[in-house]
Amino acid sequence: MLTVRPDTSLDPELLAAIVREQGTPTYVYDARILDAGVRRWIEAVGDPSHICYAVKANYNLGVLARLASHGIGFEASTVGEMARTLAAGVQAGRIVLGGVPKPAEAVAEGVRRGLDLVVLQAQHEVEAAVRAGDSLEGPPARVGLRVRPGIRAGAHPSLETGRADAKFGFGPAEIPATWAALAGAKGVEPTTLAFHLGSGLDSFEPYEGAIDVLLGLVQELASAGHRVRELDLGGGLGVAYGGTGTDLEPADLVRIVRERLEGTDLAVRYEPGRSIAARAGTLVTRVLYRRERDGHPALVCDGEFTDFGRYSLYGAQHRIEPLEGTLEGSDTVEVLGPTCESGDKLGTDRPLHGVRPGDLLAVRDVGAYGFVMASNYNARPRPAEILVDDEGWKVVRERETLEDLWRGETVD
């Protein structure tokens, strides 16, 4: 494991210049850090088509197009994510419709579109795939089954998805009959067993246990005459947001997986999101004022939990750094947003004592599950998104206008 690499290329001067033009709060992504994130995976895995970036982590079209230039695949969990990925210029044959709960129409759409793979995780999805496959004229649609391996991932409870009590996937005992039903259908071809254990894992151990569950199923299916061609291991690698821990390395995961699968001819697919996008993003916010709260100083900023919700949702403590001025003393402050909720925080216990009203703060490592989770609560337009590369920077999503806030509504 390597120690944390801070995203030094998004330097304070550049960020300050961007928000002088674009205002705050603004998300800024560094394309070179996105590139580095993908390359780490390609070096570890080899074939880029076995890496399917989880679109939900950051689906800005500019980001998707940059990632697509590396030849990787994409995992979309909804028809909306699939449409965005297609809009970014990615061919349908490079997209997986992932194993998250979906309506029957979404499954049918995935089957009809000729995606690389459609992962099914409930009985109504299996029935929808079989029905849609029946009316296909070309080759059968490749489908997979998501397994709920009953493994605790050690992540935040809201982000654990492979536990026995999770809502996702089929229990191992349900797999043989479900696979057999798919194998007997004319328009679909079952190829893949999948899991996704959770997001933000800080050890590889859960993967080992879950792979063993899948291997048991591969054997059981083989003894009934069915061949599994591929395992899809989902995403999950965590990022040490606070700046002091370590990031899990794709190469270490791949080594463990290869050891586990030695002697089999199974292909392996990975669906990383956070580990590719998180470190590429910074949210720049301006301090509105400073307030003493029962002796605890707080900075109230113009960026709030509706712009960046990871502290409020998961207690995630991201690095928060001043863009201007110097830090004085070691006293810590809370960093708050302006909404009418006391839980509206960007972070706590930050050594930002010298920061004054009007100063800019950089919330780091927000490239994954940042803007995509933003909302318009309090009727606030969502922030602009900027992409920086060697050529300079460009707006890849304009800040919303006030009119955007009521588009489609009517007073009649």
Ligand X SMILES: Cc1ncc(COP(=O)(O)O)c(C=O)c1O
Nearer to ligand X by C-beta: 3 or 158?
158
Within 31-137, where are the H helices?
31-45, 61-68, 79-87, 104-113, 123-134
By CB under 6 A, is residue 144 in contact with ligand X?
A: no
- Binding of ligand X at residue 172 (CB under 6 A)? no
Choice between 24 and 77, CB closer to ligand X: 77
Task: Kindly tell me which of 214 and 336 has the beta carbon lying closer to ligand X.
Answer: 214
Residue whose pair of structure tokens reads 């110097």 in the numeric block:
326
234 binds ligand X (CB under 6 A): yes
Task: Select from 95-103, 219-227, 242-250, 391-399 the region that touches ligand X (CB under 6 A).
Answer: 95-103
By CB under 6 A, is residue 236 in contact with ligand X?
yes
> Which residue in the set 90, 100, 115, 120 belongs to the binding site for ligand X (CB under 6 A)?
100
Instruction: Verify binding: residue 142, ligand X, rule CB under 6 A.
Output: no
Among 98, 144, 206, 250, binds ligand X (CB under 6 A): 98
- Beta carbon nearer to ligand X, 147 or 335: 147
Closest separation between CB of residue 360 and ligand X, Å?
28
Secondary structure class of 156 (helix, strand, coil): coil
**List of long-range contacts for 314-317, beta carbons under 8 Å, 24+ apart:** 314/156, 314/158, 314/159, 314/200, 315/156, 316/241, 317/241, 317/242, 317/347, 317/348, 317/349
Sheet of strand 267-269, all strands in order from the earlier edge strand to the far edge: 52-54, 73-76, 95-97, 117-120, 141-146, 188-194, 230-232, 267-269
The answer to whether 221 and 173 have CB atoms below 8 angstroms apart is no
The least CB distance from residue 100 to ligand X, in Å, is 5
CA gap 238, 241 in Å, rounded: 9
Burial of 411 (0-12, 13-18, 19+ CB in 10 A): exposed
Point out the residue whose Cβ comes nearest to ligand X: 235
H helices of 229-352, in order, are 250-261, 274-277, 310-314
Q: Any idea what DSSP says for residue 29?
A: E
Under 8 Å between Cβ of 72 and 49: yes
Q: Which residue lies nearer to ligand X by CB, 101 or 209?
A: 101
- Our finding on whether 75 is near ligand X (CB under 6 A) is yes
331 DSSP 8-state letter:
-
Q: Is 303 in the site for ligand X (CB under 6 A)?
A: no
340 catalytic residue (yes or no): yes
Judged by CB under 6 A, the stretch of 15-23, 96-104, 372-380, 392-400 that binds ligand X is 96-104
Of these, 271, 307, 321, 344, which contacts ligand X (CB under 6 A)?
271
Minimum distance, C-beta of residue 184 to ligand X, in the bound complex (Å):
26
374 binds ligand X (CB under 6 A): no
The binder of ligand X chosen from 94, 269, 274, 364 (CB under 6 A):
274
Q: Which of 133, 162, 206, 273 binds ligand X (CB under 6 A)?
A: 273
Catalytic residue, from 173, 340, 379, 411: name it: 340
**327-332: long-range pairs with CB below 8 Å, 24+:** 327/351, 327/352, 327/353, 327/354, 327/355, 328/353, 328/354, 329/353, 329/354, 331/297
Site string for ligand X, 326-365 (x = CB under 6 A): ----------------------------------------
* d(C-alpha 235, C-alpha 119), whole Å: 14
Residues with catalytic roles: 340
Q: Which residues bind ligand X (CB under 6 A)?
A: 54, 56-57, 75, 77, 98-100, 196, 199, 234-237, 271-275, 368
